Amino acid sequence: MTQPRASQTNAPRFKDTSRSPELLAIAAKLFYERGYSNVGMRLIAEGAGISVATLYYHFASKAEMLLQITLGVTKEFVDTLLPLLEGDTAMDERLSRLVCSHIERRWERRYWVSTALRELRQLDPEWRAQVDGYLRHYFHTVQAFIERGVAEGIFSVNNPHVATLALFDMIHGINDWFQPEGALSITEMAALYAEYSVHNLLGFRA
Amino acid sequence: MTQPRASQTNAPRFKDTSRSPELLAIAAKLFYERGYSNVGMRLIAEGAGISVATLYYHFASKAEMLLQITLGVTKEFVDTLLPLLEGDTAMDERLSRLVCSHIERRWERRYWVSTALRELRQLDPEWRAQVDGYLRHYFHTVQAFIERGVAEGIFSVNNPHVATLALFDMIHGINDWFQPEGALSITEMAALYAEYSVHNLLGFRA
DNA sequence: GTCTATAAGGAGATAGAC
DNA sequence: GTCTATCTCCTTATAGAC
C-alpha cells in the first residue's frame, strides 16, 4: 500500500554485494511464507540480524529485492532445464527428464519460484516484461517440442497448445500440497507426475 | 443465508445488510486484481461510492469481508457441485459433469474463488479452519468417487490419491491463463479439460 | 558496511454528528 | 445508514555519524 517515495529510478542498481545472495534467500523465504506485501523491510533485516539501513545499502528498494529473486530463478530454469530437451535419446525420455527435473527443482527452489509466480504482478511493467520474457520462452519451447512430437506421431493428444498448458498446470500445482514427510518423496512424486504427463495426458505409447 | 446477529464475542457479526452482497462483489474484484494486502478499505469504499465509516457499518473489519467472500464461495461449490456425482448415469459421465461445471463456475466466480485460494493463509486460524473444512470435504468426496471408479475397473490410474490431486491442479490452473477472447470459449475449454481429466489422466475407456 | 534516528505518508479502525 | 474528522500504528526509505 505504501508507495515508495523517491528512488524510482528506472534501472536497478544490482550492486551484487557479497552478502546479497544470503539476504535474498532470507527475503525469498519470508515472501513465500507470508506474501510479499505482508513482509516489511524490518522483518527481513531482523531475519538477517542487520538494521534496515544496512539492508538499503545492499538493495535500492524492496521492489529490487523482488526483481532479483524473480529474475534470477526464472533465468535459472531456462538455462538449466531447456537443454534437457536436446540430445539423441527418445523424445518421451527427454520430456520426462524435463518434467522430473522441473518438479524437483521447483520444490528445492520453492521460495524463489512461488514468489516469482505469485508476485509477478507487483513488479513495475518494465521489469515484469523482462521476467515474462523468460517465462514465455520456457513455455513456448516446451510447447514446440510437444507439437513436434504430435506431428511425428510420438505423442497423441488433442490440441497440443492447451495440453501444454494442462501439463504446466499439473506440475506447478504440486508445490501447493506436497508434504516432504508424506508417503512419497519429491523424486517419487516427480516420476509419478512424469508418467501422468507424458504417458496419460500426452498419450505416449511405448 | 441465515446468520447470527451481532454478539459480544470475537465472532464475526455477519449483519448481512441488504447492500453487503454488492459491497463484497466490489471487494472480491479488487482483491482478485491487486491482492488482499494491497487493497485498502479506502479503495473499496471509493469503488462503492461510500465512505470508509459506512463500510465499517456493514462489516466489522477487512478480515471479515475476506471471510465472507471465502466462506461463501467455498460453501457454494460444495452445495452445488458435489450433488452432480450422485445419480444413475455412468460414473465417467458424472465426473465429467462435475469437472465441466467446476471449471465453468470457477471462471464465472473467479474473483471469489481465486481470492479464497490465494488469501486463505491470511485468515485467523479459527476462521481458516472453517473454510478448510469445506475445501477438504470437496476434495475427499471427489477422491472417494475416483477410488471407487478405480476399484470397479471403470478408471485405470496409478495412485488414485495423487491422481485426484493432479486433476485438481489441472482444473485450477486454467484461470491463470484463460482469455475469454481466445479461440476456445470457457465451455469448450471445460469440455477439453474434462476429456483430459477423465479420459487421459484417469484412463477411462468407453 | 553498519548503525541510530527520523521523515512522510498510508493502513485499519473509531467517535460522534446528522 | 451515512458522513467528517481523527487516532494510532506501521510502512518504505533517507540522513548522517562511525
pLDDT at residue B3, as a whole number: 38
Residues A57 and A84 in one domain: no
Note whether B202 and B146 are within 8 A (CB). yes
User: What is the value of pTM for the model shown?
Assistant: 0.93
At A2 the pLDDT is 43
Give the CA B89 to C1' C15 distance in Å.
61
Residue B17 lies in a domain: no
User: Residue B206: what pLDDT?
Assistant: 75
Question: In three state form, how does the secondary structure of chain B look?
Answer: CCCCCCCCCCCCCCCCCCCHHHHHHHHHHHHHHHCHHHCCHHHHHHHHCCCHHHHHHHCCCHHHHHHHHHHHHHHHHHHHHHHHHCCCCCHHHHHHHHHHHHHHHHHHCHHHHHHHHHHHHHCCHHHHHHHHHHHHHHHHHHHHHHHHHHHCCCCCCCCHHHHHHHHHHHHHHHHHCCCCCCCCCHHHHHHHHHHHHHHHHCCCCC
**How large is the greatest C-alpha to C-alpha distance in chain B, in angstroms?**
60
Chain A environment of B200 (Cβ under 8 Å):
157, 200-201, 203
Residue A99 in contact with partner chain B when CB distance is under 8 A: no
Both A90 and A35 in one domain: the answer is no
**Residue A118 counted as domain residue:** yes
- Which parts of chain B sit beneath pLDDT 70? 1-16
- Rounded mean pLDDT of A155-184? 97
The CATH number given to whatever domain includes residue A25 is 1.10.10.60
Shared domain check, A29 and A112: no
Work out if B54's Cβ lies within 7 angstroms of strand D.
yes
The answer for A 35-64 residues in CB contact with B (under 8 A) is: 35, 37-38
* Same domain? A36 vs A56: yes
CB contact at 8 A, B62 and B122: no
Does residue B32 fall inside a structural domain? no
| Mean pLDDT for the stretch of residues A62-78 | 98
Judge whether A12 lies within some domain. no
Summarised one tens digit per residue, pLDDT across range B65-113 is 999 999 999 999 999 999 999 999 999 999 999 999 999 999 999 999 9
Same domain as A119, residue A153 = yes
The nt closest to B50 (CA vs C1′) is D2
Three cell numbers, residue A126: 518494465
Whether residue A164 sits in one domain with residue A74: yes
Report the C-alpha gap between B196 and A148 in whole angstroms: 20
Q: Do B169 and A192 touch (CB under 8 A)?
A: no
Report the sign of the C-alpha dihedral through residues B104, B108, B109, B114, in that order.
Answer: positive
Is B134 contained in some domain?
Answer: yes
Examine the fold and report which residue of A8, A30, A62 is the final residue of a domain before the chain moves on: A62
d(Cα B168, Cα B170) in Å, to the nearest integer? Answer: 5
Residue range(s) defining the domain that contains residue B77: 69-201
Q: Which of A141, A37, A199 lies closest to B36 in space, CA to CA?
A: A37
For the CA of A71 and the C1' of C4, the distance in angstroms is 34
At A87, the amino acid letter reads G
For A177, which of B38, B165, B176 is closest by C-beta distance? B165
CB proximity B195 to A under 8 Å: yes
How deeply is A41 buried, as exposed, middle or buried, from its count of CB atoms within 10 A (0-12, 13-18, 19+)? middle
| Per-residue confidence (pLDDT) for residue B13, from 0 to 100 | 54
Q: Does A138 touch chain B (CB under 8 A)?
A: no
Q: Is the CB of A60 under 7 A from strand D?
A: yes
Residue A26 near chain B (CB below 8 Å): no
Q: Are residues A118 and A162 in the same domain?
A: yes
Three cell numbers at B201? Answer: 489422466
> Are B69 and B131 in contact, with CB atoms under 8 Å apart?
no
pLDDT, residue B18, reads: 82
Closest approach of A65 to chain B, Cα-based (Å): 18
Q: Cα dist. B106→A80, B149, B176 in Å?
A: 35, 25, 11
pLDDT computed for residue A18 by the predictor: 82
Instruction: Determine how many CB atoms are found less than 10 A away from the CB of residue B191.
Output: 17
| Res A87 pLDDT > 80 | yes
Structural domain includes residue B31:
no
Q: Which of B40, B169, B195 sits opposite A173 (nearest CB)?
A: B169
Classify residue B153: in a domain, yes or no: yes
> Which of A 13-52 have CB under 7 A of nucleic chain D?
39-43, 52
Inform me whether the pLDDT recorded for A158 exceeds 80: yes
- The residue type at B51: S
A96 and A135 together in one domain: yes
Closest nucleotide to residue A55 (Cα to C1')? Answer: C2
Q: Is the CB of B80 under 7 A from strand D?
A: no
CA of A55 to C1' of C4 (A): 14
Total structural domains within chain B? 1
The CATH number of the domain where B121 resides is what? 1.10.357.10
The predicted-structure confidence for A90-146, as pLDDT tens digits, reads as follows 999 999 999 999 999 999 999 999 999 999 999 999 999 999 999 999 999 999 999
Protein-to-nucleotide distance from the CA of A41 to the C1' of C2, whole angstroms: 16
The answer to whether residue A146 sits within a structural domain is yes
In the block, cell 544496512 appears at A54
3-state SS, A1-18, equals CCCCCCCCCCCCCCCCCC
Q: Do A115 and A46 belong together in one domain?
A: no
pLDDT at residue A14 in the model: 61
What distance, in Å, lies between the first and last C-alpha atoms of chain A?
A: 54
Last residue of one domain, picked from the residues A31, A62, A93: A62
